[in-house]
Structure formats: structure tokens, C-alpha cells
Structure 1
Amino acid sequence: MADQGTEDKPLPASARKIKKAREDGNLPRSQDFGHFAAIAAGGSALFVLAPQLADWLKQLLAEALRFDSAMVMQTSAMTERLNELVLKLLVVVLPLGILMASVAVAASLAVGGWNFSIKALQPKFSKFNPITGLPRIFQKQQLINALKACLLAVLLATVGGFYLKLHVLDFAAMLGMALPTAIGHMASTILYGLMFMLLVIAAFALVDAPLQRWLHLSRLKMSHNEVKQEHKQAEGSQEIKSKIRQLMREASRKRMMAAVPGADLVVMNPTHYAVALKYDEAKMGAPRVVAKGADLIALAIRDLAKESKVPVLQAPVLARALYAHGELDREIPAALFGAVAQVLAYVYQLRAAMAGKAAMPPALPTLDVPPELDPHHDKTDATEQPA
């Protein structure tokens, strides 16, 4: 009813949701396993210490039944005697209780693990609202726990009643025994009855521990929408990430275009690819790619280069090779040193000629570009003359 079934939540819980549940104090806990461990520890201690406990109980009863007329007449004396007896009783009962509580806590940790969370201690006033609390009664886990508790109570009552029926004559016979003998006989009879009931609790504990784990993971199951929302929270919105990448590309493009006016030349193919190169003998070991682009960006690089009076040469094979293998703000590949050196030498000669300091150079020679560096070498010749 109020329980959100797994029909609309078919996906298992993610590691992030399980971690968040632990932080909120939501862990699988098995009460039956804790009860079994505590009773088993207490029963084992009683079984091992049965002779010593029987002797101690005899002495305690003998001391409790020993009094004189003065003690009867003085209320304060009787009160002191009762306090002493209670303290002696606590000396045995408290260690046994501490042992059982410690084992119960250890059993609980064995099922769900250790976790410290302040959130689990924070008050939730919504649980006091009967309107919202009533549907929780019909949740799957509550129904399973209720049925399990009823079945356990019926089985324990059946086993206990059957055991008492078989030993009713033994209990009746204790009335005719001496007190020390009756105490020892009663202790052994109760311990054996406790063992039979403990077997029933053990069977429930073996089923309840994995059942609670399964119910815990079932409650944490996720729908497809929850998985998407969690992914967005963890990785960020795809729209925002796409916008950030776009802004980064635009910023990188602006920085790249700002470097074109300071380049030494631009190599093109003739409109599809454009690569701007710069070489400073004092600072660089080899020419460096300061800008590159394809299609519209290539045309923008060409136009900006012409406006800045940067030489633009059409060398298709070299342009393709530089675009494919050259990286921005990195030196060109070593295999292209020869071809780029030819282009730079031609540009320097051309500048000198235009300044009237040298004769006009001949046409750009055939560039030595390794065929394997040209991404289109299977479609075009490995070397080409510039247009």
C-alpha cells in the first residue's frame, strides 16, 4: 500500500545510495540473530558454570533464610540484609547481562557492520503523525516482521509447552527433594529446555540475517529516474557540461586566433585546412604550431593572416600533415622539419625580395612530406607542387 514496491524500482541500489543510507543510520539489522547470539552466550555461560552457580545459589538461599529474632524486630536490620543479598545477586547477574548485551551488539555488527551516525539520533516528528504513520504498518518489511514474530512465538510456546508436559512429573518430584538436590535438578532441567528453545531461535536467526539484508537492499532499489538524477548530481548536468566545453572551445579559439597575426606564415590546403607556424631561433628549437583549423576556421585564419600581412602559402600535402599531426603550442613533428624549413626559407627570401634586398626567389620547390603523414595519401600523390 504505502510501501513502494519494486515494480517501479527495478534497479539495484547504487554504491552512492548505499553509502548515503549508512550515513543516515539505515543499515540491515537482525533482531533474531542478536537474540540467538545473546541467549546462546548466556546459556553457554550458565551451562559451563552450572556447578559453581548451583553451590552459590545454595549458599545464598541458606544465608537468606538464616535470621534471628532481633533482626525480625528491627526493620533496618532486615533492610540491610536484603540490600546485601541484592548486591551479591548482582555480582553474578550483571556480568551475565553484560556478556549477553555485548554478544548481541557484536551479532548486530556482524550483519550490518559498524556505523556511527548522528542523523539516526535526530528526532523525526513525522513519525508521530498517525496519518503518515498508519500506512507504514502495511509495508512489506513490517508485515514480514509481524508474521515472523508470530510464528516464532507460536513455535517457542509449542516447544516450551511440549517440554513442560514431558517433565511435569520431574518438577513435581522436586517438591519431595532436599533443597540442594532440588536446585541442581531444576537447573539441569531448565538448561536442557533452554537448549531446545534455542534451536528454534537459531533456525529463525539463520533465515532472518540474509532476509534482513535482502529487505534492506529491496528498500533501497532505484527507479530509472532516480538513477538519472543521481548521475546528474554525481557527474553534473550534461547540458551544463556541454555549455562549459563550448565556452572552453571558444576561449581556446580566441587565444588561437590572437596568435595568428604574430605567425611567420600560414600553410593552407587551399580552403579545407590552415596551419599557422611561428619560428624564433633564439627561443624555439623548431617551428611551432600557433593556430590550426578546418573549413570555416581555416578560412578565418586565412583572412586574419592576410589582414595582418602574414604570408599564406598553399601546400595541400604539408597542410594536411601539419593539421593531422601537429599540436597547438607544440613543435612540429620531426619528420616535417625538412618540408617546413623549405617553406620558411622561401618565405624569408620572398620578404627580402619584396623589401628590395634580394632577387625574387624561384617557385617553391617540391616539398618532401613523408606519405604516411598525409591522411589522404591513398587518394592523392605523396608530393604536390604548390598552386
Structure 2
Amino acid sequence: MADSDTGDTTEAPTGRRLERAREEGNIAQSRELHLFSSLGLASIALVMVLPTGARRFVLEMKGLLEHSGDIDFDPSTAAQVMLFAMKTAMLLGLPVAGAAAVAAVTTSTLQSGFLIRTEALIPDLTRLNPMKGIKRIFSVTSLIDTIKSIAKLGAFSFLLYGVVTDTLRLAPNTMDWSPQVFATTLYDLTMRTLVAVLVVQMIIVVLDEVWTRYHRLQGLKMSRHDTKEETRQTEGDPHVKGRQKQLRMRRTRKRIREAVKNATVVITNPTHYAVALEYDQGAGNAPRVVAKGMDELAARIREFANESKVPIVSNPPLARSLYTLPEDTEIPYEYFQAVAAVIAYVWKLKRPPASAPPPVL
């Protein structure tokens, strides 16, 4: 039993365990989601820049090729032509690459909950441990990553096959196309490919997100012993708390017992509420609520009243109203008449009718 309590990690991680893991950088990060967001934002950027950018690129390359016979391709000229072509291509690809980078950083920040860990910049030599590396290679996580990679390779190979097939089918006709037709066809082919890639990647993201969160929670599971220890550290020892609760209840019962012992009357609901009132006629003050309780505590008050031979009067409406008053306070004026009738009745029980003083409130 002891081994079971201390060794088996069968309990769900506590909130404190999850928070501590997050502070240590152990968060559910899906790399596939990063890739999907990068592809998605890059695709939006591509849709915005490709129609005009591709047309401009084709026209400039067409002009360059048409005048290639008039250019003296010495090393200096060839370098300038290459530089011009690279700049033109960069103007087309830079917004796309920038959008992908922004998406990757944003997704990583949102997934981590804006967690910034400067400790991660410090080199950790324990990562160079070859035994840990071997364990990672043959772990379940490594197996799942391998399966995901094979599945992705198969899906994207199928898509690539379709793109290559369409390209080879259209290639013989490109010699007769105008730059506008070439740019439009290139745009359509690119958009179809991107949509297909994004759909496949979205399916992979959903599966990877489910696995990543499940695997993280499994790795953070705790033994019953760990759960008890963490509860004790965060909330205090349950035994100590139980002992303190018992002491508080004992002090409360003692205080109520003393209050009821000196009370004039206890007004009840008759079982749910009990309010003990004390009235000193000679002091000239209004009756005062010295103790009150509901359900179990009300039963205690009735028990203490019976022990001290304090009269108990059943008056449900008055008991419920008086229960709302704070303890050790005088009753308000609106309750004087009802309470006076109760106290008069109590005095009538205790004394002969001729000698009973009238209740003065």
C-alpha cells in the first residue's frame, strides 16, 4: 500500500502543479500549430502581393530574356543581372516570409500565455547527457513524432504529386502564353496548392493539439502521496486544520452556553432557528441578542437552554426576523411589541400573575 501511495502517478495534476510546470516552461506547445499559422498568414500575404508581384516579375524577366542577346555577359554584367533578378524575387517573397515569421512568433507567445523565461537562455549541460538522449529516441513521444512525420510526408507527397502532374500537363503550352496568362495560371495553381496544404495541415494541427495536451497532462500526473503533500503545503495539514476547527467549535459552544445560561428567553422556529435574548429591566435598555444559530447550532442552543432552565418559546416569524440581527446588539424598535409579548409571557410563567411586572421596553 505504501508503494502504491508514493509511486503510482494516477492522480490528476493539481492547480499548483500545473502553475509550477508553466513557470518551468512546461507548456502545451504544438509545433504543428506554429506551422499552420505561418502558412495561413503567409498565404494571406501571398494573395495580396502575388497578382501584381508575379506579373511584374514575369514582365521584368521577359524583358531581360528578350534583350539577353544584346547584353555582353562579362563577369560584371552577369553579376548585375543576377543581383537584379534576386532583388525582384525578394520583393515578391519578402512580405510572405515576414508574415510567416510574425505568425510564428505570435502563435508561440499566445500558446505560452506571454510567458518569458530568461532561464532558458542559460546553457544546460544536463541536456548533453547521452543516456537521456537515448531515452528520448526510444520514448513514446519519439515514436508519435515519427508517425506524425511519416503521415505528413505521405500527405504532402500526394499533394506534390498532383502539383507536378498539373505543371507537366501545362508546360508544353507555356511557350504560347502571354505574361498575363502565365501569371494568372501560376496564381490559380499556387492558390489551389496552398488551400490543399492548409486543409491537410489543419487536420494535423487538431490531432497534434489533442495529443500534446494529453501527453503533457499525463507527464504531470501525481501520486496520491504527492497530492497530499502539495495540499498540506498549500492549504495546511488537514489534521491540523481539523484540530483547529474542533477548537473553534468548542470555543463557540462554550461561548453560546454561557450566553444562553444568562438569557431571558430563547425564541425558536421551532427547529431551524434559535435566538437567545437577554433583557435586564433595571438597566433600562432594550432586549439584546446574545446568541443565535441555525439547524445544528439551533439544536445546541435549545439544549443549553434546557440545561439552564431558560424558557423556550416557539415563534417562527419572530425567530426568523431576529436571526438576521448581529449578535450582541439590541433589537430595533420594530420588534419591541412582539418581543415584549414574549417576555411578558415568560414572566407570567415564572411568577404569580399578581406580582408579574409589566414588560417595559
TM-score (norm 1): 0.57
Alignment of 1:5-154 (within 5 A): 8-62=8-62, 64-65=64-65, 66=67, 72-73=73-74, 75-154=75-154
Instruction: Measure the CA separation in 1 of the matches of 2:259 and 2:212.
Output: 67
Root mean square deviation of aligned Cα:
4.2
Q: Which has more radius of gyration?
A: 1
1:204–1:320 Cα change, 3 Å: closer
The answer to whether the 8 Å contact 1:174/1:182 transfers is yes
User: Which region of structure 1 is more displaced relative to structure 2, 63-72 or 18-27?
Assistant: 63-72
The alpha-carbon deviation at position 80 of structure 1 amounts to 4.1
The answer to whether the 8 Å contact 2:260/2:310 transfers is no
Q: 2:278 aligns with which of 330, 335, 353?
A: 335
Instruction: Measure the CA separation in 1 of the matches of 2:37 and 2:258.
Output: 80
The answer to whether the 8 Å contact 1:24/1:120 transfers is no
Identical pairs, percent: 19
Counterpart of 1:360 in structure 2 is none
1:63–1:216 Cα change, 3 Å: farther
Counterpart of 1:203 in structure 2 is 203
Alignment of 1:165-184 (within 5 A): 165=165, 167-175=167-175, 177=177, 181-184=181-184
The alpha-carbon deviation at position 213 of structure 1 amounts to 2.4
1:69–1:221 Cα change, 3 Å: same
Instruction: Measure the CA separation in 2 of the matches of 1:205 and 1:35.
Output: 9
The alpha-carbon deviation at position 319 of structure 1 amounts to 10
The answer to whether the 8 Å contact 1:25/1:119 transfers is no
Q: 2:261 aligns with which of 321, 326, 349?
A: 321
Instruction: Measure the CA separation in 2 of the matches of 1:238 and 1:188.
Output: 68
The alpha-carbon deviation at position 147 of structure 1 amounts to 1.0
1:318–1:139 Cα change, 3 Å: closer
1:174–1:77 Cα change, 3 Å: closer
User: Which region of structure 1 is more displaced relative to structure 2, 372-381 or 189-198?
Assistant: 372-381
Q: Gaps spanning 5+ residues in structure 1: where? A: 1-6, 250-293, 295-316, 323-332, 340-371
Code of the aligned partner of 1:59? L
The alpha-carbon deviation at position 190 of structure 1 amounts to 3.3
Instruction: Measure the CA separation in 2 of the matches of 1:224 and 1:121.
Output: 35
Higher relative contact order (CA 8 A, sep 6+): 2
Post-superposition Cα deviations, 1:256-281, rounded to whole Å, max 9, x if no partner, equal: xxxxxxxxxxxxxxxxxxxxxxxxxx
The answer to whether the 8 Å contact 2:32/2:205 transfers is yes
TM-score (norm 2): 0.60
The alpha-carbon deviation at position 177 of structure 1 amounts to 4.2
Q: Gaps spanning 5+ residues in structure 2: where? A: 1-6, 248-253, 263-275, 283-299, 312-361
Count of residue pairs the alignment pairs up: 271
Instruction: Measure the CA separation in 2 of the matches of 1:373 and 1:237.
Output: 31
Code of the aligned partner of 2:232? K
1:186–1:319 Cα change, 3 Å: closer
